[in-house]
Structure 1
Amino acid sequence: MSTLSGKTAVVTGSSKGIGAAIAQKLAKEGAKVIVNYNGNQAAANAVVETILVNGGEAFAVQADVSRKEGVIRLFDEAIAQFGQVDTWVNNAGVMLNAMIKDLTQEQFEKSIDINFKGVFYSLQQAATKLADNGSIINLSSTVTRTIFPTYGIYSATKAAVEQLSRVFAKEIGPRGINVNCVLPGPIATDLFLTGKSEELIAQIASTNAFKRLGTPEEIAQVVTFLASDEAKWISGQSIGANGGMA
């Protein structure tokens, strides 16, 4: 039997990149998956189709998780479609790099809205809507363990997610729900690669023990383990998946 057989999982921002890999891996392990997207319906449908072709169950739901009403609708549609939600993965995120002195108000607010508020709203809803003995996995970043110029607002929002997760792990623990963060290092996705020269990418890749970028599938494996019953004794933790970068 697959490790997540009979469970339902929601993955925010899962139309591409790490989120898509997580959705596909969870489905491969038997979970019924809600693929969330905000604007790219075609990409989300492609992820769903891949899951269906491989014998899994999946359904795409449009929702802007930076807004409370979007998170509420995503939770409610997932429950309406599959009966309950056992695993919630907060993957949706935005990386807007700029020196702190140059960061615009729009960049600041967008970073807070997507990277932090989206997680906050989902935890509020999970308090009453996530199934007992479920799991929550929030994607943070290894940049919270490093000091990189231009990553100020991104690393600050991710650090906030980690602390929020630790507190919520204690608050919701009596229901048997574990809450953890996964901290990817540099991963070969559009989010990381966009705007970087080949020289800079190679320089960043050289900072980990394996001298390469990670893959979305490697992050998906960690998330899938944390969603399984085998990881139930792990909660309130921030787990690096960065090839020894930090």
Structure 2
Amino acid sequence: MTGKLQDKVAVIGGGEKNLGGLLATTFAADGAKVVVHYHNDSSSAENTVKAVQQAGSQAVSVQGDLTQVSQVRRLFDQAVDSFGGIDVAVNTTGMVLRKPILETTEEEYDQMFGINAKAAYFFIQEAGRRLNDYGKIISLGTSLLAAFTDGYSTYAGGKAPLEHFTRAAAKEFADRHISVNTVAPGPMDTPFFYPQETPERVEFHKSMAMGNQLTRIEDIAPIIEFLATDGWWFTGQTMFPNGGYTSR
């Protein structure tokens, strides 16, 4: 098997299912060895590892709470121990909460910013330390960085720092030719989205994009794949693949 990521190693935060799981098998088809991070769904992680192996590559799964810096470091340690180095690091982890500002608790605020901002920051930090030269770091943001609606103050607010983390890291890691980018989709058709919304609001979100549909993970994976392979000249960018979701 040969591909654009042949003999490369990819770490995927939240790689056990949904977009992360699709990226794992996509990278495997490109020839990469894959480190599948998961938080608590070990069954999905093992299924993804098996899918990577069936695609002809190698994979390991690593459990960890990425809001704990020590566990971010352990994830990258295990990647190096398993495969000798790291070339691509993609963080798809996040948490969605739709709740009015007046009803949001301090605990919810801390949890949302811990997962969406703190974990993302230290994932970028550790990737910058551990990636081989010419590596790629990609974070998953949200199109609410370019649009706004009610109820998502802690989700959009927690993801907003990603733009600034990305820009700073792109400059700081440039001498090693490591690119750093954020991909910020519109609302994605995954189990994370639906519990936050009523059927009427789901239809509204669909109406805001081309084709009257939510973003699909199959629309986003090729963009991240491009950034991980041919898109070396893109760095410090936030990309909004959303079917026009932010344009009305």
Q: TM-score range by the shorter chain?
A: over 0.9
CA distance in 2 between partners of 1:62 and 1:136 (Å): 20
What is the root-mean-square deviation in Å for CA atoms of aligned residues? 1.1
* Structure 2: segments with no counterpart, 5+ residues: none
Alignment of 1:191-230 (within 5 A): 191-228=192-229, 230=230
Cα offset for 1:198?
Answer: 2.6
Aligned to 1:164: 165
TM-score for the superposition, normalised by structure 1: 0.96
Tell me: CA distance 1:133–1:33, structure 2 relative to 1, closer, same or farther (3 Å).
same
Deviations 1:68-113 (A, max 9, x none): 0110000000000011011111111001111112111111111111
Q: Distance in 1 between matches of 2:155 and 2:164?
A: 15
Secondary structure at 1:34 match in 2: strand
**8 Å Cα contact 1:178/1:234 also seen in 2:** yes
SS of 1:131's equivalent? coil
Q: Distance in 1 between matches of 2:150 and 2:134?
A: 40
CA deviations over 1:149-185 (Å, ceiling 9, x no partner) = 0111111111101111111100111101000000111
Q: Size of the alignment, in residue pairs?
A: 245
Unpaired segments of 5 or more residues in structure 1?
none
Map 1:82-161 to 2 at 5 A. 82-161=83-162
Name the counterpart of 1:186.
187
2:12, 2:91 within 8 Å by CA — same for their partners in 1?
Answer: yes
Of residues 17-26 and 164-173 in structure 1, the stretch that sits farther from structure 2 once superposed is 17-26
Which amino acid in 2 is paired with 1:194?
P
More strand by share: 1
Contact 2:97 2:196 in 1 (8 A): no
Range with greater deviation from structure 2 (53-62 or 182-191): 53-62
User: What's the counterpart of residue 29 of structure 1?
Assistant: 30
> Which residue is equivalent to 2:239?
239
Q: Distance in 2 between matches of 1:60 and 1:14?
A: 9
| Aligned-partner Cα distance in 2 for 1:194–1:7 | 37
